[in-house]
Amino acid sequence: MSVAKQKVETRAPRPTMEPRGTFRDLLPEARRDSFVERPVVCVQGLGFVGAAMAAAVAAARDTGGTPCFNVAGVDLDTPAGRASIGNLRQGILPFETSDERFRSAVAQGHRAGNLTATADPEAYSLADVIVVDVNLDLGSEGPAGTAEPVLHLDGFRRAIETIGRWMRPGALVIVETTVPPGTCARVAAPILAQAMAARGLPEDAFLLAHSYERVMPGKDYFDSIVNFWRVYAGHTEAAAEACAAFLSRIINTRDYPLRRLSSTTASETAKVLENSYRAVTIALMDEWGRFAEAVDIDLFEVVDAIRQRPTHSNMRQPGFGVGGYCLPKDPLMALAASRQVFGLDKMEFPFCRMAVEVNRAMPLNSVMALEGLLGGDLKGKRIALMGVSYRPDVADTRSSPAQVFVEEAQRRGALVSVQDPLVESWPELGIEVARDLPDPSQFDVLVFATEHAAYREIDPARWLGAARPAVLDANDVLNAAQRRGFAGLGCALASIGRGRGIACGS
């Protein structure tokens, strides 16, 4: 195969790209002796979903303990893509996580020689299965307050076009990316059909399916793929059958049976509705949290009591805000799809719109709580923000509510420093992040925003020494003993979703 020639920046190392014709040629030189011929799976995109999926597929074993697949992660020849590729080729995770099983699966795949990565799109020509895990972003157009969500489909289209250009006829393409309803049938399938025709092949010389990911970064990262329920659908009957056969070799279907839907559009809708439901119920708790603080009750105590009722066992709770790649945008996917994919100009989704707006503004509650804790003015106040990742126990700052908090606190004159035990840099704000606990004597207030396990291990007396900063538990990060500890030392204490009078005694 020839090497795809692309302009690259020289600041990051470029992965070796030699001409190749088999999976063995994709492996680092030191691992080629361990090559065994197996079905090949390519995972397109090595972000927080794609890297985990690549590890899960490489970890799949038959009844004799032999790997089922050879897996190649494929990413763009960009600084970020090259970094992910370089790490996976060395058996290293491309980002920090507390999930040792995920870390172990990547290392195991490297040792076994059945997990590698590349920037060369010709790798798709080796694949029996191609899993699509690329971003599909949502923007907006129009004046503030009335802006309409707009799908950014160009990147997704280019990704599918690349697959169509190189894929083996008859290969299975599974879209895991969260996409607007109708995307597989009305965007991906026509692109693949056109690509097949351009290569002189039958237009239907591909299998297309949709099976959305439910990846939950954190301590159960790996299990959220292999030990969790999956929904899927095929563009054709043959595609659905092929998708089920593939997933059944990766997922523990004995305990987590697959659920087939009637069409790819139905499967796409399931993911968008699933996330919209979560976003709406999170937004609901925002107003109840503020009520609890005003009337001096503990809403977490209230919610725990309600959760005893089986129909309400997944009730949400107040917190710092919503972040990540999915919940801030997915509730608007159906509205955008109605306009851009289906031409339904009169469809409206008022609850979804409102949920997104409420969740975006939620971190401002913590800013206002800080003002109350610090005498009504943040000007010149030194704030240590503990946690910038949007989820506990993973280094993921995408759309983190911490960004809204930092920008608003700075606008009000505060001096904000940030710390996170897993995050080294915050690309959205272009700043470095301290990983060690800060010196509390240097701050007026400590704000705990992310439920990292490391924070639950803090001993207030040992850490503070003679310092007595105020403390805001913005996301139920601290346990009851820690809250009592801070309060007992004389620290002014507040907790989102708890009245000031009972925050330290819960």
Q: Count structural domains, the chain.
A: 2
Q: Could you tell me if residue 57 is inside a domain?
A: yes
My answer on whether 187 and 50 are in the same domain is yes
3-state secondary structure of 159: helix
Q: Could you tell me if residue 103 is inside a domain?
A: yes
Classify each residue of 53-85 as buried b or exposed e, where b means 16 or more C-beta atoms within 10 Å of its C-beta: bbbbbbbbeeeeeebbbbbbbbbbbeeebbbbb
Question: Do 473 and 270 form a contact (C-beta atoms < 8 A)?
Answer: no
Structure tokens at 378: 């943040």
Q: Could you tell me if residue 442 is inside a domain?
A: yes
Q: Could you tell me if residue 418 is inside a domain?
A: yes
pLDDT the model gives residue 14 = 36
Q: Could you tell me if residue 433 is inside a domain?
A: yes
Q: Could you tell me if residue 180 is inside a domain?
A: yes
Q: Where are the beta strands (DSSP E) in 115-219?
A: 115-118, 129-132, 137-141, 148-152, 172-175, 207-210
CATH code for the domain of 221:
3.40.50.720
Q: Could you tell me if residue 257 is inside a domain?
A: yes
My answer on whether 110 and 258 are in the same domain is yes
What residue spans of 181-298 are helical by DSSP H? 183, 189-198, 223-226, 237-247, 264-295
pLDDT the model gives residue 10 = 30
Sequence-distant (6+) residues with CB within 8 A of 160 are 132, 173, 187, 188, 191, 192
Sequence-distant (6+) residues with CB within 8 A of 490 are 468
| 116, β-bridge pairs | 72
Counting as low any pLDDT under 70, the low residues of the chain are: 1-20, 142-146, 503-506
3-state secondary structure of 81: helix
Given 232, 247, 262, the domain boundary residue is 262
Asked whether the whole model's pTM tops 0.85, one would answer: yes
pLDDT the model gives residue 15 = 36
Which whole-number Å values give the CA distances from 120 to 12, 19, 20, 75, 248, in the listed order? 17, 10, 10, 8, 28
My answer on whether 50 and 177 are in the same domain is yes
Given 220, 237, 262, the domain boundary residue is 262
My answer on whether 90 and 224 are in the same domain is yes
pLDDT the model gives residue 147 = 73
**Interatomic CA distance for residues 487 and 493, integer angstroms:** 6
Q: Which helix (H) or strand (E) holds 352?
A: helix 350-361
**Interatomic CA distance for residues 41 and 60, integer angstroms:** 12
3-state secondary structure of 265: helix
Q: Could you tell me if residue 9 is inside a domain?
A: no
Domain that holds residue 31: 27-262
My answer on whether 186 and 65 are in the same domain is yes
Structure tokens at 20: 């190749």
pLDDT the model gives residue 29 = 86
pLDDT the model gives residue 146 = 62
| 210, β-bridge pairs | 175, 233
The number of beta carbons lying within 10 Å of the beta carbon of residue 480 is 13
The number of beta carbons lying within 10 Å of the beta carbon of residue 341 is 22
Given 199, 231, 262, the domain boundary residue is 262
